[in-house]
Amino acid sequence: MNISIRQLTAFISVADNGSFTRASDQMHLTQSAVSGLIKELESSLGIVLFDRTTRQLSLSAVGRHLLPQARRVLNEMHLFENEASSLTSLAQGQVRLAVSQFAASSMPAVIAQFSQTYPDISVSLLDCSAENVLQHIQNIEVDLGVGTELGFMEMDDDISTDLLYELPFCVVMPEQHVLAQKSEIVWQDLLETPLITLQGPFIEQVTTELDEAVAAHIQQARYKVNFMSTALEMTRQGFGITLCLPYMPEVIDWVSANGLQMRPLAHPVKTRRFFIYQRSSRALAPATVAFKQFLQTYFAQHFTDLHG
């Protein structure tokens, strides 16, 4: 069996585009050349990868099963090339990074500072949902992932984690709000006022191990939005109060500049942890090691300044 990278590339391109014509344009080859590569691959494997009709082209059952494996093999080859080139110097190479929603907000500032120290290292950023961070790591599509803890998902034994930082859940309210006058705000205090929350896993993280009445109040919040910026603006406009993580100095500055207060919630103190994810069986390239160390140092200093 002699499978080539060009054949795998053609297989993935045709599958993604659903068309030999579009795949040939993407690969800068003739349609017959792409078709030939697929036929060679099918002949070598002794299987049919695509079901073809006069009007439609679709992956066969076997093709659907093999497509993720083909992506991994191709990603392995690209990673091999990147690691080989980066070994020539610590200050060269490429880092591929996947980050979840909250981490993504602060990452551009990290990359900008890193680039000042290592101008020849390229860092590509893929923002996605928390669960997709893990998927991109498992599929070897990125070198590192940064996101929230994923206790609700099963992780491969090959995935390792390093705690990057931990943030307390806070409440944001107008300065004139009755809760802003309290020396300490507890979760039970939230029962007194309408809430604005984010949709999705954020609510699950917040309500775990809370009093049943408080958890129900949060889960049945009057307003549920997709973005923290929306929740903060609605709070400023007087729709209610919102829950937040102090994940960016810009957010804290915006809260203060717009007549709002951000205060940690007590009894219990609840936090959300953010991790660096990577494949434990893979030795990181020097460029990736440099970025990971920079990332850890940056956030250690950042949150010491922010909360110290």
Residue-level pLDDT at 305: 47
Here the tokens at position 218 are 């949060």
Flag whether pLDDT at 308 surpasses 60. Answer: no
The DSSP-derived string for the chain is ----HHHHHHHHHHHHHT-HHHHHHHHTS-HHHHHHHHHHHHHHHTS--EEE-SS-EEE-HHHHHHHHHHHHHHHHHHHHHHHHHHTT-TT-EEEEEEE-HHHHHHHHHHHHHHHHH-TTEEEEEEE--HHHHHHHHHTTS-SEEEEE--TTS---TTEEEEEEEEEE-EEEEETTSGGGG-SSEEGGGGGGS-EEEE-THHHHHHHTTS-HHHHHHHHT-SEEES-HHHHHHHHHTTS-EEEE----HHHHHHHHHTTEEEEEEESS--EEEEEEEEETTSPPPHHHHHHHHHHHHHHHHHHHHHH-
Amino acid residing at 220: Q
Lowest mean pLDDT among 100-104, 228-232, 270-274, 276-280: 100-104
* pLDDT band at residue 113 using 50, 70 and 90 as cut-offs: very high
Q: Which fold has domain 87-166+273-307?
A: D-Maltodextrin-Binding Protein; domain 2 (3.40.190)
Percent over 70 (pLDDT), the chain: 90
Average pLDDT over residues 188-211: 88
Residue with tokens 């929740």: 231
Average pLDDT over residues 180-190: 94
Cα 174 → chain centroid: 31
Domain ranges of the chain: 5-67, 87-166+273-307, 170-269
pLDDT per position as a tens digit, 240-249: 999 988 876 6
Average pLDDT over residues 138-160: 79
Lowest mean pLDDT among 63-77, 89-103, 111-125: 89-103
Average pLDDT over residues 200-211: 82
Percent over 90 (pLDDT), the chain: 57
Residue-level pLDDT at 162: 93
CATH of region 5-67, choose from 3.40.50.261, 3.40.640.10, 1.10.10.10, 3.60.21.10 = 1.10.10.10
Flag whether pLDDT at 156 surpasses 60. Answer: yes
The architecture that CATH gives domain 170-269 is 3-Layer(aba) Sandwich (3.40)
Average pLDDT over residues 38-66: 91
Flag whether pLDDT at 152 surpasses 60. Answer: no
Please provide the average confidence, as pLDDT, over all residues in the chain. Answer: 87
* pLDDT band at residue 1 using 50, 70 and 90 as cut-offs: low
pLDDT greater at residue 88 or residue 212 = 212
Average pLDDT over residues 198-208: 81
Residue-level pLDDT at 83: 64
Q: How far apart are CA 223 and CA 218, in angstroms?
A: 10
170-269 has the same fold as 87-166+273-307: yes
Average pLDDT over residues 260-284: 90
pLDDT per position as a tens digit, 225-258: 988 889 999 999 999 999 988 876 677 888 999 9
- Residue 240 region by backbone torsions, left for phi larger than 0, else alpha for psi between -120 and 50, else beta: left
